[in-house]
């Protein structure tokens, strides 16, 4: 029974988890049981994991025989009560599916227990048996699932109204926008009763959530410890680096041993406190970082700089804490020497410059990467990118940050894995040193052409990146931080919202980062609250005695917007910014913000992936266009089904970060091989796929996954010679005696060479051409065609009829040319004025009584005589044949032909040729006495090859009711046959075959008298 399209699998709530048992179940259900589609909801890790070996499974299957008798719902049991409470609709859906219908066709419901790492109530085989109709297996799984849900219900009731309900108090240390964002996220937890900001700011003092309050005069260690004791705090979250470097966590463990502290110890915070220490640590651990030297003597440092090549650009850093300002970026050797003097001799950054780090200048995009750490492992959050310069176009002085966005498009899934591995290694090596790292590890990354490098470490959340990363967090932040503080991070699924981006724009006082005014009233805050998707985080603000919010710092607000993508998130954020103003006592507006946050990310290059099996000659023009900037694109992956394919070397020549991968097809189905290739492409962050000499037919599943984002080049003018490859196509062109050939760029679909045509390039065929010489003519066109097709995709231009190969002008010219022919077919009852798709006919004017008249319709074509007409380029008579084929069917019923309509379809409209055909149709109508009152001319490049056309006709006749034929025919009557004037149209298939068999041409002498 092939009914695979009837059943699917809904996968709920797995987040960042992709357990092997679940993946095995999904792969088998798809491949062996005919489940057609896997639909992940809040389960973003499922698809990329399924594509990988050994599963090699697409979410959308390709159909086939189906063992399944029902769909499947697979629910990941929440690992915490807060998650269960946060998404009650999922549990309700699962429960209702179990209880709604007990029939064998009902959805099978299965619960997966993350803590036990198993399917509740059975195994993979049990689930598959239930899907295949085993009632006992279904019942067992259903009962176990209900029990698991009931246990969570009991825990949820205890948390909601029970005597053991958690009412934890959390202290957030700090007064900036970062701390405001932390407070807002922590206050969302049902386990938290109060979030006390020490000391906080004007935003935390007036926060809508009543849980958030300001308490404490400052953020020094003594104040925080006293406050923790006073309020019975359960956790202290440290925002800025200074208290950590000053040993707050260490003192808390002594003074308040029962209070959890989210942040590293003083020894672990050395990763930020000393750049010299962190560079040595990275070097010792083999974690990529720039080449460097550290110095305690200025003269020695200058001597080192003088020894360097003039073009060996360096970065000079004060090793200690310098409020984010201790990094200098000289552009010449002399400037580097001056930077050393500024830090070490002039003490521009005080004691922080006692030790100086000089390191090689790295190039590439920067990314801010936050890793949650529990002393044993790390979980990487979505990467962010910030904007340090004060003015648009990255001009002006450096600042603490003027805006940010996340997720950063430049950090691909593969890079995310690499950076997370670096962070995990850092945590593991710190533990080995006896200084376990707990809290937030902020890795400043440079994505160089050689891969990701660590620029520096910070021991706390970044600002303003926190304001875009935390809004993306779906898991309860308090539970995540608790797991970090207790060494149980593995027990919590840290998950992030799917299909959501965040952008923040910093609103600063005019003049920042230099001298700037203070005390301005902030207007528009209430208006921003009414804008959906906007959240304003405060930094340099305070409430005055009249509860008016005023500016107290340089960076005052961070306006964050959420959206389904970066573009919409930025639009939302700027809507909030535009509602705000900082107004002084004289009514002057003194607010400054950048207007180009995220602009470069929106203009990012198209990331191209390549599938190839051969030399990939057509790829060279694409590589050159990318390198020269003619294409705003970059090739990021080359994948081949052949280990020795030269195209892989072309990929490697682009640099070590380019994925150049051989994927063996041995022992794999088409879909499985395509899934593994897709995993490589997705991991590299590919947007658009080129098939360049790829000698494999792609599976329907691949085509669905990459629909509209994958193109192929074919060495002919499709649809001619579809399905052929290489020299056989060129030989077919010669065998067909075609006058032109070329190449076609088309979208890849599951119809081989049948996807929509993007563009074609043509070249003439000469009488001396061979298959090899034609290949030499066509092949140079292919690379240029790829470049043109990519340019069109990047521009997202509106495709016109002309782009699709349809000429409106040619159609209009044809109408004008054939009007006289059609006028000649006028008769009583119709005008025969061509130009429309149909016309009117007056029966009475033709002498018929409508009540006593029967209308007769007939439709037909010409048959394969068309092929002979096209080959011999004699188009003048096929129109007469078309009319004859139709009106003859009217005449044999006793009818008089009244009017006729034609249908002419072609791949490319040749006006003269089409006019000859219609002229013949008009002549046929004149001979038959019927009017040519309308027709359709269809130009469809993707349906017909250039030079091909097809014809169809429709005729209507009338006959008095008492004259309808046949009449009075019976057994014994004599049947008379009339000699034909020629071969009937339906006989030309035989004619063509005979001529082919005898090796004749249509111009050969007739072989009979």
Write the pLDDT tens digit of every residue in 380-434: 999 999 999 999 999 998 899 999 999 999 999 999 999 999 999 999 999 999 9
Q: Which tens digit of pLDDT belongs to each residue from 244-270?
A: 999 999 999 999 999 999 999 999 999
Higher pLDDT, 106 or 535: 535
Looking at residue 2, its pLDDT comes to 42
Say if residue 304's pLDDT is above 70: yes
Q: Are 879 and 822 in contact (CB under 8 A)?
A: no
Give 859's pLDDT tier (boundaries 50, 70, 90).
very high
Q: Which tens digit of pLDDT belongs to each residue from 11-70?
A: 999 999 999 999 999 999 999 998 889 999 999 999 999 999 999 999 987 656 788 889
Q: Which tens digit of pLDDT belongs to each residue from 486-508?
A: 999 999 999 999 999 999 999 99
Average pLDDT, the chain: 91
Q: Using alpha carbons, select from 887, 881, 876, 889 the residue that is nearest to residue 863.
A: 881
Least-confidence region, from 105-119, 154-168, 308-322, 577-591: 154-168
Cα–Cα distance, 847 to 19 (Å, whole number): 82
Quick one: how far is CA 332 from the chain centroid? Answer: 41
Looking at residue 833, its pLDDT comes to 60
Q: Using alpha carbons, select from 428, 407, 426 the residue that is nearest to residue 416.
A: 407
H/E stretch holding 145: helix 135-161
What is the chain's Cα-based Rg?
38
Give 73's pLDDT tier (boundaries 50, 70, 90).
very high
Q: Which tens digit of pLDDT belongs to each residue from 986-995?
A: 677 778 778 8
Dihedral sign computed on CA atoms, order 78, 84, 89, 92: positive
Looking at residue 3, its pLDDT comes to 40
First-last CA distance in the chain: 60
Q: Are 721 and 729 in contact (CB under 8 A)?
A: yes
Higher pLDDT, 198 or 1004: 198
Q: Are 240 and 176 in contact (CB under 8 A)?
A: yes
Looking at residue 4, its pLDDT comes to 40
User: In the block, which residue shows the tokens 């032109």?
Assistant: 740
Give 579's contacts (C-beta < 8 A, 6+ positions apart): 524, 527, 528, 531
Q: Using alpha carbons, select from 620, 672, 666 the residue that is nearest to residue 643.
A: 666
User: In the block, which residue shows the tokens 């049947």?
Assistant: 975
Looking at residue 832, its pLDDT comes to 62
Looking at residue 1, its pLDDT comes to 36
Higher pLDDT, 101 or 173: 173
Looking at residue 369, its pLDDT comes to 98
Cα–Cα distance, 97 to 149 (Å, whole number): 13
Token pair in block for residue 994: 């005979």
Higher pLDDT, 595 or 978: 595
Say if residue 5's pLDDT is above 60: no
Residue 252: asked if its preceding bond is cis (omega within 30°), the reply is no
Say if residue 298's pLDDT is above 70: yes
Give 1008's pLDDT tier (boundaries 50, 70, 90).
low
Q: Are 425 and 377 in contact (CB under 8 A)?
A: no
Looking at residue 686, its pLDDT comes to 96
Cα–Cα distance, 172 to 290 (Å, whole number): 34
Average pLDDT over residues 436-455: 96
Q: Which tens digit of pLDDT belongs to each residue from 794-815?
A: 988 444 555 555 666 677 778 8
Give 103's pLDDT tier (boundaries 50, 70, 90).
low
Q: String of b and e for 468-503 (b: at least 16 CB within 10 Å)?
A: bbbbbbbbbbbbbbbbbbeeebeebbbbbeeebbbb
The β-bridge partners of 496 are 473
Cα–Cα distance, 758 to 713 (Å, whole number): 10
Looking at residue 828, its pLDDT comes to 87
Average pLDDT over residues 973-995: 77
Token pair in block for residue 352: 């922080």
Average pLDDT over residues 643-666: 95
Say if residue 161's pLDDT is above 80: no
Average pLDDT over residues 650-676: 95
φ/ψ of 706, rounded to 5, equals -105, 20
Say if residue 700's pLDDT is above 90: yes
Average pLDDT over residues 655-677: 95
Q: Using alpha carbons, select from 21, 17, 70 the residue that is nearest to residue 45.
A: 17
Q: Which tens digit of pLDDT belongs to each residue from 811-835?
A: 777 887 778 888 888 888 887 665 5
Give 179's contacts (C-beta < 8 A, 6+ positions apart): 172, 173, 197, 200, 201, 204, 239, 240
Task: Please spell the DSSP secondary structure of 100-124, one letter per residue.
Answer: H--STTSPEEEEEETTTTEETTS-H
Neighbours of 511 (CB within 10 A): 13
Strands 931-939 vs 896-906: parallel, antiparallel or unpaired: parallel
Strands 192-199 vs 168-174: parallel, antiparallel or unpaired: parallel
Cα–Cα distance, 716 to 153 (Å, whole number): 65
Average pLDDT over residues 510-518: 95
Give 236's contacts (C-beta < 8 A, 6+ positions apart): 170, 171, 173, 224, 228, 248, 252, 259, 260, 261, 262, 263
Task: Please spell the DSSP secondary structure of 616-664, one letter per residue.
Answer: -TTHHHHHHHHHHTSSSEEEEEEEESSTT-HHHHHHHTT-TTSEEEE--
Looking at residue 558, its pLDDT comes to 98
H/E stretch holding 879: helix 878-891
3-state secondary structure of 396: strand
* Rounded percentage of the chain residues whose pLDDT exceeds 70: 96
Say if residue 473's pLDDT is above 80: yes
| Alpha-carbon distances, residue 563 vs 477, 503, 560 (angstroms) | 21, 9, 10
């Amino acid at each position: 029974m092939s009914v695979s399209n009837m059943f699917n699998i809904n996968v709920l709530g797995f987040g960042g988890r992709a357990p092997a048992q679940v993946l095995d179940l999904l792969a088998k259900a798809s491949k062996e049981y005919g489940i057609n589609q896997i639909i992940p909801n809040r389960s973003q890790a499922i698809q990329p994991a399924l594509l990988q070996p050994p599963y090699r499974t697409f979410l959308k299957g390709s159909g086939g025989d189906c063992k399944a008798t029902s769909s499947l719902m697979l629910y990941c049991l929440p690992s915490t009560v807060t998650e269960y409470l946060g998404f009650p609709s999922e549990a309700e859906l699962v429960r209702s599916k179990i209880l709604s219908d007990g029939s064998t066709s009902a959805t099978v419901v299965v619960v997966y227990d993350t803590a036990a790492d198993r399917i509740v109530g059975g195994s993979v085989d049990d689930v598959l048996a239930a899907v295949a109709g085993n009632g006992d297996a279904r019942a067992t799984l259903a009962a176990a699932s209900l029990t698991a849900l009931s246990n969570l219900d009991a825990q949820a009731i205890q948390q909601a109204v029970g005597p053991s309900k958690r009412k934890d108090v959390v202290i957030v240390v700090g007064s900036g926008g970062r701390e405001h964002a932390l407070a807002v996220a922590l206050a969302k937890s049902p386990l938290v009763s109060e979030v006390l900001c020490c000391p906080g700011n004007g935003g935390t003092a007036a926060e809508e959530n009543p849980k958030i309050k300001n308490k404490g005069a400052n953020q020094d260690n003594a104040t925080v410890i006293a406050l923790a004791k006073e309020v019975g705090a359960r956790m202290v979250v440290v925002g800025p680096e200074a208290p950590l470097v000053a040993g707050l966590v260490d003192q808390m463990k002594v003074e308040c041993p029962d209070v959890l502290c989210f942040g590293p110890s003083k020894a672990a915070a050395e990763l930020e406190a000393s750049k010299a220490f962190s560079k040595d640590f990275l070097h010792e651990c083999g974690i990529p970082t720039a080449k460097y030297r550290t110095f305690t003597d200025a003269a020695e440092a200058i001597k080192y700089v003088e020894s360097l090549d003039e073009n060996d650009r360096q970065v000079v850093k004060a090793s200690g804490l310098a409020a984010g300002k201790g990094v200098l970026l000289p552009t010449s050797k002399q400037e580097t020497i001056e930077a050393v003097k500024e830090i070490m001799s002039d003490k521009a950054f005080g004691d922080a410059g006692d030790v100086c780090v000089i390191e090689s200048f790295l190039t590439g995009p920067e990314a801010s990467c936050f890793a949650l750490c529990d002393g044993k492992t790390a979980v990487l959050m979505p990467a962010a990118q910030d904007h340090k310069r004060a003015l648009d176009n990255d001009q002006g002085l450096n600042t603490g940050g003027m805006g940010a966005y996340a997720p950063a498009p430049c950090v691909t899934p593969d890079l995310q894995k690499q950076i997370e591995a670096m962070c995990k290694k850092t945590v593991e090596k710190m533990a080995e040193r006896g200084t376990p790292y707990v809290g937030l590890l902020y890795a400043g990354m440079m994505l160089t052409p050689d891969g990701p490098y660590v620029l520096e470490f910070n021991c706390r959340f970044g600002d303003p990146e926190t304001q875009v990363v935390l809004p993306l967090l779906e898991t309860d932040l308090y539970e995540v931080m608790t797991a970090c503080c207790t060494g149980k991070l593995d027990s919590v699924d840290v998950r992030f919202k799917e299909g959501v981006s965040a952008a923040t724009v910093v609103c600063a006082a005019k003049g920042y980062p230099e001298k700037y005014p203070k005390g301005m009233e902030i207007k528009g805050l209430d208006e921003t609250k009414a804008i959906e998707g906007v959240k304003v985080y405060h930094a340099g603000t305070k409430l005055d005695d009249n509860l008016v919010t005023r500016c107290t710092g340089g960076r005052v607000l961070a306006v964050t917007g959420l959206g389904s993508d970066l573009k919409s998130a930025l639009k939302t954020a700027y809507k909030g910014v535009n509602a705000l103003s900082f107004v002084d006592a004289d009514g002057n507006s003194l607010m400054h913000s950048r207007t180009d946050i995220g602009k470069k990310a929106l203009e990012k290059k198209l990331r191209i992936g390549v599938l190839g099996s051969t030399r990939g000659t057509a790829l060279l023009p694409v590589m050159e266009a990318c390198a020269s900037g003619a294409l705003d694109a970059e090739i990021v992956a080359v994948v081949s089904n052949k280990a020795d394919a030269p195209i892989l070397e072309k990929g490697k020549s682009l640099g070590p970060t380019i994925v150049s991968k051989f994927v063996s097809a041995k022992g794999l189905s088409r879909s499985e091989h395509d899934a593994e290739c897709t995993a490589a492409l997705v991991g590299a962050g590919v947007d658009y796929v080129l098939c360049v000499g790829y000698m494999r037919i792609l599976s329907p599943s691949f085509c669905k996954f990459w629909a509209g984002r994958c193109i192929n080049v074919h060495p002919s003018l499709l649809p001619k010679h579809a399905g052929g490859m290489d020299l056989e196509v060129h030989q077919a062109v010669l065998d067909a005696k075609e006058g032109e050939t070329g190449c076609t760029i088309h979208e890849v679909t599951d119809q081989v060479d049948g996807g929509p045509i993007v563009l074609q390039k043509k070249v003439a065929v000469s009488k001396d051409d061979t298959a090899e010489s034609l290949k030499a003519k066509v092949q140079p066109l292919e690379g240029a065609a790829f470049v043109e097709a990519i340019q069109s995709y990047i521009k997202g231009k509106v495709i016109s009829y002309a782009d699709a190969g349809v000429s409106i002008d040619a159609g209009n010219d044809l109408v004008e040319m054939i009007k006289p022919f059609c006028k000649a077919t006028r008769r009583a009852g119709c005008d025969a004025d061509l130009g429309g798709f149909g016309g009117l006919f007056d029966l009475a004017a033709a002498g018929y009584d409508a009540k006593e008249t029967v209308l007769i319709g007939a439709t037909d074509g010409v048959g394969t005589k068309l092929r002979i007409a096209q080959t011999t380029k004699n188009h003048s008579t096929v129109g007469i044949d078309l009319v004859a084929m139709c009106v003859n069917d009217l005449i044999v019923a006793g009818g008089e032909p009244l009017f006729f309509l034609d249908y002419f379809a072609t791949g490319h409209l040749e006006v003269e040729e089409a006019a000859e055909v219609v002229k013949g149709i008009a002549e046929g109508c004149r001979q038959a006495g019927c009017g040519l009152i309308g027709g359709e001319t269809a130009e469809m490049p993707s349906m017909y090859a250039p030079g091909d056309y097809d014809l169809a006709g429709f005729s209507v006749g009338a006959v008095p009711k008492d004259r309808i034929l046949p009449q009075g025919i019976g057994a014994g009557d004599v049947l008379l046959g009339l000699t034909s004037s020629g071969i009937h149209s339906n006989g030309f298939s035989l004619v063509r075959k005979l001529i082919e068999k005898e090796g004749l041409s249509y111009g050969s002498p007739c072989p009979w008298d």
